């Protein structure tokens, strides 16, 4: 009799723990059979001994539920210690990033930003040198053959300008200061129309190309800045870089870094890179590029979760972002941040891991698949 009662109590505990497991499990298993358990629970409530067990089960699952959720997030996410932002000095250049300006020597620049943590090939044929402290004070710099800065990027509050522009500036303020943005970009014999959708403006000012990105969900204030020397920009004879394994991997890691740089600004835990999920993401990007479609559901009808399960990736929470046709990971990330559904994945505090996979079609257009999850 005691064994039977123990089994009943165990079933009751599992039943009341449903909020912890029902939603993720329900994506893959028909839980309709629980309806009969609901009815059975209601029927035994009249028994005083079982009612006491029910009350105990409720209290137990409430207690371990909050502890379990806290443990899951604590062990799969990371919130680093805050570091100070540098004092931004006045600049004689149109723009400075972390007090670095175009033409500055690599030695002088790295006195300001430290040593690079990663080098990633970019669409200009050079490398982005990535500088940050746990993704705080995040800066990308490119250097020419003489070791001088010829490209800069940041998506954090590290901008100073002779025009008084900052990350708090609005699109209208930027246009008042810099004038009318470019409508097209000449590459070789082809003139590419810039389909900015008011999400970014590109300018050619003297010997500098400036791209200002805006956050459409935050009153179109500046959210990122890219500054490229004209020699570097004009040496790029096509809008899309030639596909290669190095560029593929660089685009993947850069999208990962940009995601964490956006999260840390919002005081969200950093995501950890996941190699297995990168492989799953790569396969989906490759499939879309080869078969000329763009969808979370592949041609076999598999969802993002189906593909993760097929590859043996365990998770209790997952999401997927897709991007296609942007010129680089920077443009892809900024576009995703301006799409509310994709933005929610990027800034979701419950995610702990990210794998990014890219592939290129025959026209060298990149496909990006970013898979967020927690286990």
Q: Which of 210, 235, 260 is the last residue of a domain?
A: 235
Residue 85 located in a structural domain: no
pLDDT of residue 212: 98
Q: What is the largest CA-CA distance in the chain?
A: 88
Residue 84 located in a structural domain: no
176 and 210 in a single domain? The answer is yes
Is residue 126 pLDDT above 70, yes or no?
yes
The three-point CA angle 361-366-367 to 5° equals: 90
298 forms beta bridges with: none
332 and 305 in a single domain? The answer is yes
Q: What is the mean pLDDT of residues 185-200?
A: 90
37 and 144 in a single domain? The answer is no
Residue 44 located in a structural domain: yes
Q: Which of 235, 255, 290 is the last residue of a domain?
A: 235
The conformation of residue 236, written as its DSSP 8-state character, comes to: -
Query: 309: domain CATH number?
Result: 3.40.33.10
> Residue 359 is part of which domain span?
245-374
229 forms beta bridges with: 208
- pLDDT band of residue 79 (cuts 50, 70, 90) is confident
Q: pLDDT of 227-269, one tens digit each?
A: 999 999 999 999 999 999 999 999 999 999 999 999 999 999 9
Structure token digits, residue 5: 């009662």
Residue 82 located in a structural domain: no
103 and 214 in a single domain? The answer is yes
Number of other residues whose CB lies within 10 A of the CB of residue 234: 14
Whole-angstrom distance between the N-terminal and C-terminal Cα of the chain?
38
Residue 41 located in a structural domain: yes
103 and 223 in a single domain? The answer is yes
Instruction: Please give the residue that has the higher pLDDT: either 214 or 75.
Output: 214
336 and 220 in a single domain? The answer is no
Cβ proximity of 111 and 155 under 8 Å: no
Q: Alpha helices, DSSP H only, in 18-129?
A: 18-26, 34-44, 48-76, 106-113
Quick check: helix, strand or coil at residue 273?
A: strand
Task: Measure the CA–CA gap between 338 and 349, rounded to whole angstroms.
Answer: 18
Task: Measure the CA–CA gap between 97 and 117, rounded to whole angstroms.
Answer: 17
pLDDT of residue 188: 84
Pairing verdict, β 353-360 and 272-273: parallel
208 and 258 in a single domain? The answer is no
Task: Measure the CA–CA gap between 182 and 231, rounded to whole angstroms.
Answer: 17
pLDDT of residue 77: 62
The number of distinct structural domains making up the chain is 3
219 and 265 in a single domain? The answer is no
346 and 292 in a single domain? The answer is yes
pLDDT of residue 44: 39
Q: pLDDT of 15-32, one tens digit each?
A: 444 544 554 444 434 444
Backbone dihedral angles phi then psi of residue 80, each to the nearest 5 degrees = -75, 165
Is residue 332 pLDDT above 60, yes or no?
yes
What percent of the chain lies above the pLDDT cut of 90? 75
197 and 291 in a single domain? The answer is no
Residue 8 located in a structural domain: yes
Among candidate residues 124, 361, 365, the one with its CA nearest the CA of residue 237: 124
Q: What is the mean pLDDT of residues 63-76?
A: 44
Residue 79 located in a structural domain: no
Residue 76 located in a structural domain: no
pLDDT of residue 195: 84
- pLDDT band of residue 209 (cuts 50, 70, 90) is very high
271 and 290 in a single domain? The answer is yes
Pairing verdict, β 272-273 and 208-215: unpaired
Among candidate residues 317, 337, 60, 132, the one with its CA nearest the CA of residue 218: 337
209 and 263 in a single domain? The answer is no
pLDDT of residue 350: 96
pLDDT of residue 317: 96
Q: Model pTM?
A: 0.80
Q: pLDDT of 268-301, one tens digit each?
A: 999 999 999 999 999 999 999 999 999 999 999 9
Cβ proximity of 171 and 218 under 8 Å: no
Q: Which of 209, 235, 261 is the last residue of a domain?
A: 235
């Amino acid at each position: 009799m005691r064994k039977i009662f123990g089994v009943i109590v165990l079933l009751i505990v599992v039943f009341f723990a449903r909020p912890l497991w029902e939603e993720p499990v329900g994506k893959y298993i028909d839980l309709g059979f629980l309806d009969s358990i609901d009815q059975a629970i209601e029927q035994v409530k009249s028994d005083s001994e079982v009612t006491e067990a029910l009350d105990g089960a409720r209290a137990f699952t409430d207690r371990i539920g909050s502890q379990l959720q806290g443990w899951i997030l604590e062990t799969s996410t990371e919130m680093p210690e805050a570091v100070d932002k540098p004092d931004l000095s006045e600049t004689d250049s149109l723009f400075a990033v972390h007090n670095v300006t175009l033409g500055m020597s690599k030695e002088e620049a790295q006195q300001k930003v430290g040593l690079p943590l990663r080098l990633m090939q970019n669409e200009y044929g050079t490398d982005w040198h990535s500088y940050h402290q746990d993704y705080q004070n995040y800066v990308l710099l490119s250097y020419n053959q003489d070791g001088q800065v010829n490209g800069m990027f940041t998506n954090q509050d590290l901008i100073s300008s002779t025009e008084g522009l900052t990350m708090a500036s609005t699109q209208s303020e930027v246009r008042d200061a810099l004038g009318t943005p470019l409508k097209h970009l000449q590459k070789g014999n082809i003139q590419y129309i810039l389909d900015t959708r008011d999400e970014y403006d590109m300018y050619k000012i003297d010997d500098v190309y400036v791209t200002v990105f805006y956050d459409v969900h935050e009153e179109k204030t500046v959210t990122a800045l890219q500054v490229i020397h004209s020699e570097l920009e004009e040496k790029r004879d096509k809008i899309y870089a030639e596909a290669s394994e190095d560029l593929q991997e660089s685009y993947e890691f850069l999208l990962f870094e940009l995601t964490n740089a956006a999260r840390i600004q919002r005081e969200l835990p950093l995501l950890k890179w996941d190699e297995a999920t990168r492989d799953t993401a790569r396969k989906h990007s490759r499939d879309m590029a080869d078969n000329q479609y763009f969808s979370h559901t592949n041609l076999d009808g598999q969802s993002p979760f189906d593909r993760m399960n097929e590859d043996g990736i365990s998770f209790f929470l997952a999401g997927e972002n897709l991007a296609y046709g942007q010129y680089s990971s920077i443009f892809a990330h900024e576009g995703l941040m301006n799409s509310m559904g994709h933005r929610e994945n990027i800034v979701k505090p419950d995610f702990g891991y990210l794998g990014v996979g890219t592939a290129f079609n025959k026209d060298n257009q990149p496909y990006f698949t970013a898979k967020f999850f927690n286990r």
